Every structure is written in C-alpha cells, then in structure tokens.
Amino acid sequence: MKSLWSNSEAKSFRGDLATRVYTSRLLGANPELVLHGGGNTSVKTTEKDFFGTPTEVLYVKGSGWDLGTIEAEGFAPVRMDALLKMAELDSLSDPVMVKQQRAAMLDPGAPNPSIEAILHAVIPHKYVDHTHANAVVALTNQKNGKKAVEEVYGDRVLVIPYVMPGFDLAKVVAKALAKHPNPKELEGLILMNHGIFTMHDDAKKSYELMIQLVSEAEEYIAEKLGKKYKAPKAKAKEDLLNLSLIRKKVSELKGSPVIAKIDQSAEAIGYSVRDNIDKLAIRGPLTPDHTIRTKRTPVVVGPKVEASLDKFATDYEKYFEKYNSGETMLSPDPRWAVWKGQGTIAFGATEKEAGVLHDISTHTWKTVGMAEDAFEGGWKALPAGKLFEIEYWELEQAKLAKGGSAPAHQGKVAIVTGSAAGIGFACAQSLAEQGAKVIGIDLNPDIEAEMAKIGAIGIVANLTDEKAVKKAVEWTVRTFGGLDILVSNAGIFTAGAYLDDLEQTNWDKSMAVNLTSHQKLLKYTIPFLKNGIDGSIVLVGSRNVNAPGAGAASYSCAKAGLTQLCRVAALELAPFGVRCNIIHPDAVFDTKLWTPENLKRSAERYGMTVEEYKTRNLLKTEIKSKDVGNMVAAMASPLFGKTTGAQVPVDGGNDRVI
C-alpha cells in the first residue's frame, strides 16, 4: 500500500484541524482502508470556548460524514475533560453516552460525535486514525489470528480482543494502555475482528504508520498465498430472466422495490463457484460494522431461486428469535447475494444504495476468499450472537433510520420511449421525480443529454429495429436487475391526406412507428415485467382514437390499433399481475412540434386567439406535457393498482369524445 501524502498539498492545510481533514481524506481515498462512512479519525487541540477560555477539545469525526470527503465542519469538538471523566465511570449506557457527548460539545451545531469518541480520548497521542483495513481484518479473522498479528507486528502494537464498540471498548483499551510501560511508543492497536488504530503526535506520521502497518499485513498474506497465487476465475452464461426473478423475490421479502447490481466479473463468478461456497459465504461479514448494511450473511442462490431466498428468510427469522431480547425484527431480505455460477448481486432501495452495498460486498468476498486461501482453517468471523448485537445496536440502527417516507416509485425501473422531448420527456421526468430509475429510449441523439438532466439514462435506438429494442431492454435488466414500468410513447405525426390521395409510404411509416414498434417493445419487455414489482404498462394513444378527423387515416388507425393492442395485453397479462392501460392526450401544445407560428396559424383557422385555441376544451384549461407525465406516473403507481385495460383521456374534456 502506498502513501498518498503530498508535501505540496499538505501546505494548503494549516493548523491542527485542517491537517486532520487532509490526512482523513487520504485514508478515505483508499477503499482498502475504509468504505462509505467507515472508520474515524480525531485530533486533540486547544480552542477557546464561547467565553474566550482556552479549552482542551477532541475534534472527532462526526456521525454521517465520510472520511473521503470530510470537511472541518464534519468534526465534532468535544471537551476532553468530559470524555475522560466518562471513561472513568464503571458503566454508561449507549443513549446516555450519546447525550453526554453532545452536551460536552463546544459547538452545539456540529454533528454528533463518533461513538468511538471516548476511545479516541483515552489514547494519549494527538492524532488518532482508525480504519477497517481489509488486510488487517483478513489477518485477524482466522483461526490463528492473534498469533499472526504477533508474528507481523511484535510488541509495536497492542492486540485488543473483540469488544462491542463504544463505551465498553474504550474501557478495555484504557486499561490495556494503563498497563503498558510506555504507551506513547506504541505504533498502533489491532482490534481483533474489527480493525486497526494508528496514532502519533504528528499527523503525517500517524497516517503513514497506518500505511506501513497495513502494508506489512498485505505482505504477510501475500507470502502465505505464494507469489503465483491467482484468485479463482470463471465465466457464465447470462441469465437475465432469473436475475429479474431474484430481484422480485428480494423486493417481496423487503416489502418494497430494490435495485439489483450484479457483478459478473471473472473473479466474482470464480468466488461463486468455489467448492465450499455454501458454507464459506455465510461465515460472517468483513467487520461487525458492516452488519448494519449487509446483515450477517448474504443469500447463496442455487438453481432453485425462490427456494434459496425462502430459506434465507426462514434462517434469518430463526437467527433473530435465537438472539433477540426485545428488538423488532428487520425485514428478512438479503442485502447481497452469491449467485452460484453467476457472480454476486447487491440490493438497494436506490441505485446509490445498491452501489454502496456492491462496494462493501465486493471487498467482503475478495477478503474472505483471500483469507480462506492464505490461512489454515480459512476465514473465521465473529460468532452470530456478537454480530446480532451490532446489527440491532440502537446507535447503529439510528444511522439508517433517518429520512422520511420513500417516493412512490423508489426502487422501480422504468423504460420510457420517445422521451427526448415533449410528452415522453415529461413522463420520464415525473417518474424520475417520484424515485424511479428511468431509461429513456429515442432515435434522437439528444436523448442522452436530456435524460441526464433528470438523473435518468438515455439510449439512442431506432424502436422499429427489433435487435436494437432487444438490446436496450436487456441492457436495462442487466444494469438494474429488472423492469417494472413501461411507458410506450414513441410516435410520429404523419402528413394529413384523404384516403384517395394517401401515399402508401405515409401509411406504412405510421403503422411501423405508431403501432408495430410498440408491439416489438412489448415482446421483449413482457417477460421481465412479469417478474416486475407491481408491473405496469402505459401506452400513449391519442384523442383521434375516439374522435378521428378527416384526412388523418394513417395516424388515427395506427393509434386505434395501439388501443386494441393495449386491450389484448391487459387480458393476457392480468394473470401475472401486470396492468396495461392507455392514455389519450389531446391539444398538448408545449412541445417542439408546436412553434408559435404553427399555433397562431391553427388558431386563426378556427377564428380564435392562441390562448382560446390552447384551452378549447370543456374545462377551458390548457393541457401541458407535465399534466400527461403526472397522469402516467399515477397510472403506474398503486393509485391505479386495480385498473387495467382502461382508456383514460387527458384532454380537459372533449365534447366529441364524451
């Protein structure tokens, strides 16, 4: 492991706290040390309180901050005298500890101090760094972990047996330091099954001690593995339908939709085909801290997908019943999976959360595999009871409980076609605003930039090209794990012509785009929608279906055919719980098709002003793209959960239709 320290960069960080920010970011920049909020750092210094009195304080990482991006505001200033007095108590409950730490803060507006604040305070060095370095965890999480630590570090570190983080751990460390003849000479602390602390009165030296000690663990493991060691690798035949089934089952166990992020790298597949994977994968997490995100174990998915997930849920319930002492059980869904022969999958309520779980689970299986191959007896995590304490620890659960209710479509995956502009864009925007992961498909190359504006993904594809449609749908499922919502909107306005003057190309083009392309899209999405969460299809028709006009045969007939396609789809998909409805918008003028000149010309044809023309419906209201988008989002939600095969006008009321 290499030091990232830069003398030139360090010069711009002046003062104790600023230097602490710099070295904290260096630690956070290395995923082999910390991931997503893990680890904590501190510095002891003197600050003036509100009254100007010099006060010894501990600046310790605040709860909710990430070392990789932390700012000075991310550190909580806590009075040292209060922390040291707390360390002298015989006992201290977690809620009281949190309350007293907050009461001892110099700045009441700062974040809550780390639960390890007292531990940082009892370590006599100015700078203290704590990480969950993969190599150190691998060193300790095995049968002869303590012996291996002593072989690597000798008496340069203190070895601390596993103790529940917080006050109890602080007490154990304080006693160990008190017994040491010269604790200031120590280079670090190795917390069995937990991680590593390094400390020094100089920020650079404390950071580089971390790099040095972790590097020594890496070298020791590499020697055990041998120079020619290569992690198992394998290939797999893609199975997207079962991927969507796994995601559906996990969502059902959780009680809400999840995004599924699959890793089918050769290494991930290699891990999944290990001979002992059924037992190895469920021995325990990388560190106890990870349990609050990953649970104690992943699910190992075999050929019988649903049976594997049902077993996980049953085993989780038994685990809870065995160790609980009054807690409320969390939902029995896995947070990640080892899919035998296919790789690994991470699950999250959002794409971001799935990414976090992917990172943590990836580091977990890589480290577990490394320790399994390096040490006699292989990987050995903490007992289930100890891990339960962390998983259901009220202080850790509080971190995850923050936030309000989820948006209506959070965790759902939606495809919206023809979404580079107009109604299609509005549909994509409404779904994205309500939490869905949206994939927009359009022939217009602007689709990529337009979707990026709303946090969605744009794919350039010709929807009349069957291969392109199949490719886009499969990419969506491969990337997010499944498909729940289809908004089939792509269409064109063909030139008006009476039947006896209608060119065949006009008719053929309208049928190809306004009807057949939707049929092709349904063909490739339906298998995945059947495995979707509250699967819903919304087709975008036209007022012309129920109130056609002369000279619009090619457009009106295609939209009428689309309506009939919707009705048939509703009949076919109802047994699978997938709904199919169609909306008929009219007079939506805030699109690129309607320039001011076009609007004015059309209004004059009817003897109206532009405003009169835009509101020529029974409700005398203007219909905007956003109105259509909101209706589509509602129809894809549980609000319309008992409606299928319906035709819904979005036109302000049309007397010809009514």
Active site residues: 555
* CA–CA separation, 396 and 308 (whole Å): 28
The pairing of beta strand 127-131 with beta strand 157-160: unpaired
- Within its chain, how far is the Cα of 381 from the centroid? 26
> Which of 658, 582, 559, 583 minimizes the C-alpha distance to 617?
658
Burial of residue 14, with CB atoms counted within 10 A of its CB: 0-12 exposed, 13-18 middle, 19 or more buried: exposed
Instruction: List the one residue out of 333, 359, 330 whose CA is nearest residue 258.
Output: 333
Burial label, 445 (beta-carbon count in 10 A; 0-12, 13-18, 19+) = exposed
Half-sphere exposure of 616 (CA within 13 A, CB side): 16
Cβ atoms of 629 and 430 closer than 8 Å: yes
* C-alpha angle 251-638-255 in degrees, rounded to nearest 5: 20
Cα dihedral 145→151→154→158 (10° resolution): -10
CA atoms within 13 A on the CB side of 405: 4
- Give me the amino acid identity at 447: I
Q: Kindly write down the DSSP assignment for every residue of 421-464, as one continuous string.
A: SHHHHHHHHHHHHTT-EEEEEESSTTHHHHHHTTT-EEEE--TT
State how far the Cα of 258 lies from the Cα of 335, in Å rounded to an integer.
10
DSSP 658: -
Residue 95 pairs with which residues in a beta bridge? none
CA 118/CA 115 separation, integer angstroms: 8
CB 562 within 8 A of CB 539: yes
Q: Are 84 and 121 in contact (CB under 8 A)?
A: yes
Fill in the DSSP letter of residue 547.
S
Rounded Cα gap, residues 367 and 369, in angstroms: 5
Helix 203-225, helix 351-374: angle, nearest 10: 60
And the tokens for 430?
Answer: 């409404």
Q: How far is 269 from 235, CA to CA, in rounded Å?
A: 6
**With left for phi above 0 and alpha for psi between -120 and 50, is residue 53 left, alpha or beta?**
beta
* Residue 351, token pair as written in the block: 């794409």
Residue 451 to residue 204: CA distance in whole angstroms: 44
Q: 270: which residues sit within 8 A by CB, 6+ positions away?
A: 231, 232, 233, 234
The number of helices, as runs of H, and strands, as runs of E, in the chain is 26, 18
Strand, helix or coil at 584?
strand
Q: In 74-165, where do the E strands start and end?
A: 75-79, 127-131, 157-160
